[in-house]
Structure 1
Amino acid sequence: MGSFKGHVLPGSLFLVVGVWHVWSSVFRYVSEPPGAFRVRAWSPVGRGKARHLELYVVAGGAFLDMCVELLYSTHLRWFVGPERILNPAHMNDFEHGGMLLMFFVYGALALVSEKTRYLRLPEGALCLIGAAAFSSEYLLFYFHSTTHKGLEGYYHLLLVLLIALCIASAIAGALFPTSFAADLTNAISITLQGLWFYQTAFTLYGPMMPEGCRLDGNDIACHSHDNQVRGELLANVQLFSLILLVLFFVLGSYAVAASRYGHPDLSRSHAGEEHTAGSGGWNFGTHLRTGTTLEEVAAY
């Protein structure tokens, strides 16, 4: 069982990073010459001291959250009983701490790679390390020691699907380092994951609880099966609305970036593609009018 703060805090981290990734991906695509785009596992903030701000946010945020899970939530009671076994009452906190450790490792390795000469990792390797961090998150929510049932389980199932999209897009970025689609999809999936953490917090632990359902101790209880089904259908509508919201944000970001920072060759490239697509028949007719032989026509 989670809490409002337990969903809002990681949601804020994912949302901030995801929104920045969307803007950075679009900005780099429209501002660079056609064909020069490269997938980035992380997005620099300018060229000055704030360049590695995203990595500090990821590593620092993951480390602080990990300390909360392992130190504050457990009250340092990691082992219990005469046999000194791992405290089963805080297994949920240990699992969250392990997941956060992976994101901290990703941020720390990226910083070491960027700021030192001892561990220079290619961008594809950083993408795969990011995919490994998302994989740990996927395994956490899929094989959680806290059994999610009913409406709560449905919200976490949708979260698992969004995490799977993060994994797939990160791997695609490593395999296709020049793909704008892979880079943008990864940014969108991270943004959606952050928004869904917020949606889960406000629905299950806030004022948006579906009618006929309530928070009963550590469980979400619905009065009837019909109430639970209506709650699940509402979750589908909420996810669709968030996808639509992110789509509008991506389109707006692209329009602003293209109008203010668009590379001159980008518009020429688009104009050339439209001219080529629309003038194929004309080129063929030109060849016919200039006395092209039948063999040349067949080859053309």
Structure 2
Amino acid sequence: MGSFIGHILPGTLFLLVGVWHIWSCVVRYVSNPMSFRVRVWCPVLGFGGRLKYLELYLIVIGSFLDLCVELLIATRLEFFVHGVLNSVYMNNFEHSGMLIMFFIFGVISLLSEKTSCLPLPEGALCLIAATAFCAEYLLFYFHSTTHMGLEGYYHLILVLLISLCVLSTVAGALFPTSFPVDLCSGIAITLQGLWFYQTAFTLYGPMMPTGCRLKGDFILCHLMNHQVRGELLANFQLFANVFGVLVAVVASYGFAASRFGHPDLRRLHAAED
């Protein structure tokens, strides 16, 4: 069972990274489509280079802080009971494992970019990021916490969105010059962040479907009709999130093309037509 804060914190991290990835991907493509390359992380240009690695620092610091919440604060440091791993906090231990993977990805990327001791190509970094998403996928698919009913339906949708992150990140290593692949990766990460928010506000906030309520560690619906209505509401929420993200992507592409569009962009589109 999760909590409102437990979904908002990772949701914020994924949402910030995803939105930035979409915008950076679009700007890089419209600025010079012929030299476009997939990037698993996107540097912040300008400001004298002081913010170049902002995304990686956000991943490292954000995952570390969330790790501290899950592993140190939530467990009250009660890791073992009578020499055995404390099963009460197994949920927190699993979340910690996922966060460690993203922390490792951020650290490795920083070492690869800022030092000469670990020079890795972009494709290798894509595969490391895909490994972190795979760990997240396995966590939610084989969760020790039994997600049943309406809660299980929301987490099933989350697992599907995570699988899109895995596939798009692996595709980035296989097709390093593909704009659609890079854009799909940013969209998948953004949708995952939005769905964390949606889950927090629906299951642990003010948007609980009629006939369902949070009782202890479970979401209980009085009748099966109430649960079905809640699942249909989840489908509509997913559609609204996807529609909103796609509208935002099209709008950002149009704006970036009008401000930063390269002459080759129109010629490339004309050649494709």
Structure 1 length normalisation: TM-score?
A: 0.89
CA distance 1:116–1:223, shift in 2 (3 Å): same
Distance 1:236 1:229 in 2: 11
Cα deviation, residue 265, structure 1: 1.6
Distance 1:110 1:117 in 2: 12
Distance 1:19 1:188 in 2: 8
The reply on whether 1:10 has 2:32 as its aligned counterpart is no
Deviation by residue 1:95-145 (Cα, 9 ceiling, x = unmatched): 011000000000000000000000001000000000000000001000111
Q: Which amino acid aligns with 1:116?
A: T
Deviation by residue 1:245-277 (Cα, 9 ceiling, x = unmatched): 000010011001000000112123323444xxx
Distance 2:35 2:110 in 1: 24
Alignment partner, residue 73 of structure 1? 74
Q: Which amino acid aligns with 1:49?
A: R
1:35-50 alignment, distance < 5 Å: 35-47=34-46, 48-50=49-51
1:1-300 alignment, distance < 5 Å: 1-32=1-32, 34-47=33-46, 48-81=49-82, 84-274=83-273
Long gaps (5+) in structure 2: none
Distance 1:265 1:168 in 2: 30
Distance 2:180 2:10 in 1: 25
Cα deviation, residue 67, structure 1: 1.1
Note the aligned Cα RMSD (angstroms). Answer: 0.8
Structure 2 length normalisation: TM-score?
A: 0.98
Alignment partner, residue 285 of structure 1? none
Long gaps (5+) in structure 1: 275-300
How many residue pairs end up in the alignment?
271
Instruction: Say whether the 8 Å CA contact 2:34–2:264 is kept in structure 1.
Output: no
CA distance 1:214–1:120, shift in 2 (3 Å): same
- Ranges of 4+ aligned residues in structure 1 off by more than 2 Å: 268-274
Q: Which amino acid aligns with 1:53?
A: L
Bigger CA drift: 265-274 or 89-98?
265-274
Distance 1:105 1:200 in 2: 26
Give the percent of matched residue pairs that are identical in Structure 1 and Structure 2.
Answer: 67
